[in-house]
Structure formats: C-alpha cells, structure tokens
C-alpha cells in the first residue's frame, strides 16, 4: 500500500451531546493521507463540534477516532497536537502582543523535547531563526517578522496561524472557516498557501461556507446534516446533488454558492 493511499484519520460511530442534546449522531468518515476534504452543512449541524472532538477539546459520548492507526479518543489536545493534528480556529489564534517571528519561534520550540528546551545549542538557535525567515519569505510575510502580530490584517493573521501549525509539525490540518474576516485579495493568497500544503503532502480537512473556495481546493466534499454524514463525493457531484439542495433549502432549492451565517455547533 502506498503512503498516499493510507488512511490518516478514521472516525467511527462518533456521538457527542450537549446537556442532553445530541449534536453528533454516529459520524463515520475516513480521510486518506494527503487528501483535501471539505466539510459543509447547514448551521448547527455539528461541523465545529466534530472538529472539537477531533482536536480533543470535546470528549465524545461514544465512538472512536484513530489517527495514523493510533486510537486517540482518550488523548488531550496537546497530546494530539504532538502526534501531528493541527487546528486553526475560526477566531484568530495568534499572540497579538508578540512579533510575527516570535509567534513562529514559540510554535517551533513547542514541538521540542524538554531537553532541547532546557539545553538549546547555538546551532539549534541559528537553525530556528533561519527556518522562521525562510517560512516567512515563502508566505510573503518576511517584512513583517519584527512587527506585532496584532498589527497584521485578518488575512495575514490567518496565514501566520497556519504557519504556526506548520512550524509545530502538523500532518493533518483542521481549518475552521479560514476565510472568515479575510479580504477577497487575501483569500486568494490563502488559497495559494493551502495549495502549497497539499503539494507538501499534508492532509487538509476544512470547514468553509464559501462553496467556490472549497470546490477550488478540495478533492472531496462531505456534507453533515443533523449530526450524521448525509452526503459525500467529488466537489462538482456534491454541489449539483439534489440531496444537497434539499438539505439547505428543501425541494426545488439551489446549492449554496456564497458564505452562510456562522455557527458554533
């Protein structure tokens, strides 16, 4: 079996409840290494709840999650991050009072062992600085290295946030509405960055309301509705499906093409 055909994420019969209310009702989904998968669905269908379960911020009521063949359901968020699961939240997660370079250094050093942190070598420090400079050059933020992260535009902060996830060593990127608060121009640069991640063999799982954006980037789209996977397939097939139209608008409706209001479930 080739590396690309191996499953990186296996979700089986996943259930999650809030105060007695069922949000996820038996989600089953497999994602291959290097695949780019879009997750869509109406407000309140459980998209962000699913991401919270995958990243360890919510404990499911039932079911299992396997990452690279390892059962991770009992693991805490920091343990999953060290295994290679990177989460980019809908709300910007950068340290605004730190510089752009310091944000990346913190993420890079967060992947180190205790020994490396206590006894850093000069060579390691030099390599860290070179890595940060190279990464910022690749994403067009080299001139912002010494600026405070809070002074960046929304799109630049989103790119920095993804860079932090790269620096930490993620293999699976969970991107929760990355275009929220991003200008049309920066949306194009964000798409280019995600394409770059795909070329590096990273696995992308993305929640997004903008169907044009998600169709451009994803080889497969999964539709969540009422806490279960209601539909999945190639982007164009899903977009033209009568099932999708009925989920969003009832019979005779049209598939969504523009961002819908945000939901936290």
The pLDDT of residue 118 is 47
pLDDT digits (tens, 9 = 90+) for 52-95: 999 999 999 999 999 999 999 999 999 999 999 999 987 777 88
Confidence bin at 101 (pLDDT 50/70/90):
very high
Phi, psi of 28 (to 5 degrees): -125, 125
The pLDDT of residue 6 is 75
How many alpha carbons fall within 13 Å on the CB side of residue 17?
7
Supply the DSSP string of 40-105, one letter for each residue: E-STTSSHHHHHHHHHTSS--SEEEEEETTEE-TT--HHHHHHHTEEEE-SS--S-TTSBHHHHHH
Confidence bin at 254 (pLDDT 50/70/90):
low
Residue with tokens 């979700």: 11
Q: Which two tokens stand for residue 51?
A: 């991401």
Of residues 115 and 120, more confidently modeled: 120
Distance of CA 248 to the CA centre of its chain: 23
Q: Which residues pair with 176 in a beta bridge?
A: 207
Q: Which residues pair with 85 in a beta bridge?
A: 172
Angle, helices 122-138 vs 100-110, to 10°: value is 120
DSSP 232: E
Q: Is the pLDDT of residue 258 over 70?
A: no
The pLDDT of residue 264 is 45
* Structural domain spans, the chain: 6-47+58-91+155-265, 95-151
Q: Is the pLDDT of residue 160 over 60?
A: yes
DSSP 168: H
Angle, helices 154-168 vs 100-110, to 10°: value is 30
Confidence bin at 108 (pLDDT 50/70/90):
confident
pLDDT digits (tens, 9 = 90+) for 225-234: 999 999 999 9
Q: Is the pLDDT of residue 262 over 60?
A: no
pTM of the entire predicted model: 0.85
Q: Which CATH superfamily is domain 6-47+58-91+155-265 in?
A: P-loop containing nucleotide triphosphate hydrolases (3.40.50.300)
């Amino acid at each position: 079996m080739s590396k690309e055909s191996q499953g990186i994420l296996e979700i089986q019969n996943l259930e999650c409840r809030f105060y007695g209310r069922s949000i996820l009702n038996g989600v089953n989904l497999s994602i291959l290494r290097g695949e780019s998968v879009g997750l869509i669905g109406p407000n309140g269908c459980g998209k962000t709840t699913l991401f919270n379960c995958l990243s360890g911020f919510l404990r499911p009521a039932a079911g299992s999650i396997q990452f690279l063949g390892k059962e991770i359901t009992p693991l805490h968020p920091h343990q999953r991050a060290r295994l290679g699961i990177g989460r980019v939240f809908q709300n910007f997660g950068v340290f605004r009072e730190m510089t752009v370079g310091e944000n990346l250094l913190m993420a890079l050093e967060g992947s180190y062992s205790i020994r490396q942190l206590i006894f850093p070598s000069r060579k390691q420090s030099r390599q860290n600085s070179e890595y940060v400079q190279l990464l910022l050059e690749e994403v067009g933020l080299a001139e912002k290295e010494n600026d405070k992260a809070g002074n960046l535009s929304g799109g630049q902060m989103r790119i920095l946030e993804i860079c932090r996830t790269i620096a930490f060593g993620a293999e699976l990127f969970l991107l929760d509405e990355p275009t929220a608060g991003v200008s049309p121009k920066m949306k194009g640069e964000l798409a280019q960055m995600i394409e770059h991640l795909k070329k590096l063999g990273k696995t992308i799982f993305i929640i997004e309301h903008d169907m044009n954006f998600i169709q451009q980037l994803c080889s497969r789209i999964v539709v969540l509705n009422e806490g279960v996977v209601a539909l999945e397939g190639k982007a164009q097939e899903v977009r033209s499906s009568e099932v999708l139209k009925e989920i969003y608008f009832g019979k005779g409706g049209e598939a969504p093409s523009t961002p819908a209001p945000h939901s936290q479930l």
